[in-house]
Structure 1
Amino acid sequence: MSRIILITGASRGFGKLWAKALLKRGDKVAATARNTEDLKDLVSEFGDSVYPLQLNVDDREACFGVVQKVNAHFGRIDVLVNNAGFGLFGAIEETSEQQARAQMETNFFGLLWLTQAVIPVMRAQKSGHIIQVSSFLGLVTLPVLGLYNASKYAVNGLSETLATEVKSFGINVSLIEPNGFATDWSGASAIQTEANEVYNPLKKAFKEGATPDSWGKPEATVPAFLKLIDSENPPLHFLLGKMAYPALKQVYNQRLAEFEQWKDVATEAHG
């Protein structure tokens, strides 16, 4: 039986790639974008199997409305893929209030609104899978991506908690945590802060540290994504790419060593 899958940010990148893969194998997809013109190719190729919807995830009322429309249209929602988001590049000092708020509105609050909206639907079904597209930068950090890191750490904290709250309702939660991929996350859809020259050496070193091999091929994620969708016991944390695991292992080993070094001081502070 085909699944009903709601994917946000389906106009480009992972969202469009995964939506097309699901449609090709016979699933039904409700695809959202800020401009539905960007979804016309999916409609042209897959007809009634795709339900295109305009959505700015920053709008909480619109998020709840979209979930209601999808549930009414297809009769259920088996999987929510919270994919909408963008990258904000620049040092924390450089980041304006508007940029910081916009980053959190889309990457965190938009995901929260859709999650809140879909839970009652899945709870009534006694089944469902909420997939949050986070980042390995929700587990470790990189310089000049401070607000992006923060938004993904917030997504991870929310989703780990959510998993414990909804498990008894038959709802699974997964965090997709990719390393860098050659989508346009760092291109047309990215926002840049107003540069302060004191950070130029740091930005230069950061840019030079990335090799062509650092960036994964988006198309290669399709089999992994489909395995996650099809899993009866999906993982909470799901890394994508070959760079994420070694980076995480190094950072977590360093953290454990630091915790150990200061353990006695921490214990004494308990009183």
Structure 2
Amino acid sequence: MTTGRVWFITGASRGLGRAFAEAALGAGDRVVGAARDVDPLADLAEKYPDALVRLPLDVADRAAVREGVDRAAAAFGRLDVVVNNAGGLLLGMVEEATEEQIRAHLDVNLFGAIWVAQAVVPYLRAQGSGHILQVTSMGAGGGFPSVGLYAAGKAALDSVSQALAMEVEPFGVKVTIVQPGGYDTGLFTVGTTTTEARPEYEPLRAKLAEMWGDDAGPDPRTAAPVVMELVDLPDPPLRLIVGGASYDIVQQMDQARTAEYQAWEHLSRKAPG
């Protein structure tokens, strides 16, 4: 395993970001952990005083992101692995969401990741190397009731990231779209904004509650070894689903979409183009 890398991780104070920071530090790497509240990283800073820099940062603020990335690059002299992990959940039906909620949500989940990518690429291009991990979701391939806007932000980031990967490949920079399943990250608690529920959707909400149950998902630390193996690959994949159950679900969704296309191929082919 190659050690001594420098990581820049957004949303590093909890969930997957925290798990990736712990794993990187444990492997002998150095980490700049960014979050709006970096106090939860105090124990890691005490354990790794020379290897962890805590960086208060709101990724929705583009100017602050550029300044933060400059500070991150200066902290250890380079950037090797950039993890765009910061995000939240807007939970509710599309009709219920306010303009303010939608814009605030996309400011973090989509635009925040774009601001980080724009800020880090010049550093990675100059050094001729680097690996950007864009944390999206196993649900990035399609919407689902009550999490449609969350999926929309992740799907948009997926498309942007695929383009980014092709743009930076000539400079020796890699991009991987990391698609995790439902880990116990606190996303449905501290990371959630909820719409004002309309009574018309109560039957659907009851079905969703029964479907999802009370299982918060596995510990995010169980995903960290996969990411550590990913960043060691000389030729990493563009997309990686993290989680066996999630892999199966994504395959089922893809197969269902292909089947629907094929079922209506006769209608599609009636139009030229």
Distance in 2, Cα, partners of 1:169 & 1:106: 27
Partner amino acid, structure 2, of 1:8: T
Unaligned runs of 5+ in 2: none
1:200 maps to what in 2?
202
Partner amino acid, structure 1, of 2:194: Q
Distance in 2, Cα, partners of 1:89 & 1:242: 25
CA contact (8 A) 1:140 1:248 kept: no
Distance in 1, Cα, partners of 2:251 & 2:75: 44
Distance in 2, Cα, partners of 1:243 & 1:194: 32
CA contact (8 A) 1:28 1:49 kept: yes
Work out whether 1:101 is the aligned partner of 2:103: yes
- Shift, 1:215, TM fit: 2.1
2:18 maps to what in 1?
16
CA contact (8 A) 1:33 1:39 kept: no
Equivalent residue in structure 1 for 2:29, among 24, 27, 30: 27
Unaligned runs of 5+ in 1: none
Distance in 1, Cα, partners of 2:271 & 2:53: 57
1:170 maps to what in 2?
172
**Helix, strand or coil for the counterpart of 2:117?**
helix
2:87 maps to what in 1?
85
CA contact (8 A) 1:122 1:171 kept: yes
CA contact (8 A) 1:128 1:172 kept: yes
Work out whether 1:268 is the aligned partner of 2:262: no
Q: How does 1:1-271 map to 2 (within 5 A)?
A: 1-211=3-213, 215-270=217-272
Residues 231 and 213 of structure 1: CA distance in aligned 2, closer, same or farther (over 3 Å): farther
Identity value in percent: 39
Give me the CA root mean square deviation.
1.5
Distance in 2, Cα, partners of 1:178 & 1:66: 26
Partner amino acid, structure 2, of 1:21: A
Distance in 2, Cα, partners of 1:242 & 1:197: 36
Distance in 2, Cα, partners of 1:183 & 1:79: 21
**Helix, strand or coil for the counterpart of 1:93?**
helix
Distance in 2, Cα, partners of 1:230 & 1:43: 25
Partner amino acid, structure 1, of 2:44: L
Residues 214 and 257 of structure 1: CA distance in aligned 2, closer, same or farther (over 3 Å): farther
**Helix, strand or coil for the counterpart of 2:202?**
helix
**Helix, strand or coil for the counterpart of 1:102?**
helix
- Shift, 1:45, TM fit: 1.1
Distance in 1, Cα, partners of 2:193 & 2:100: 12
The C-alpha deviation readout for 1:154-211, integer Å capped at 9, x for no partner, is: 1101111111111111111011111111120111221111111111111111111124
Distance in 1, Cα, partners of 2:148 & 2:115: 23
TM-score (norm 1): 0.96
Distance in 2, Cα, partners of 1:51 & 1:28: 8
- Shift, 1:37, TM fit: 2.2
TM-score (norm 2): 0.95
- Shift, 1:79, TM fit: 0.8
Distance in 1, Cα, partners of 2:180 & 2:31: 22
CA contact (8 A) 2:184 2:216 kept: no
- Shift, 1:100, TM fit: 0.4
* Aligned residues between the structures: 271
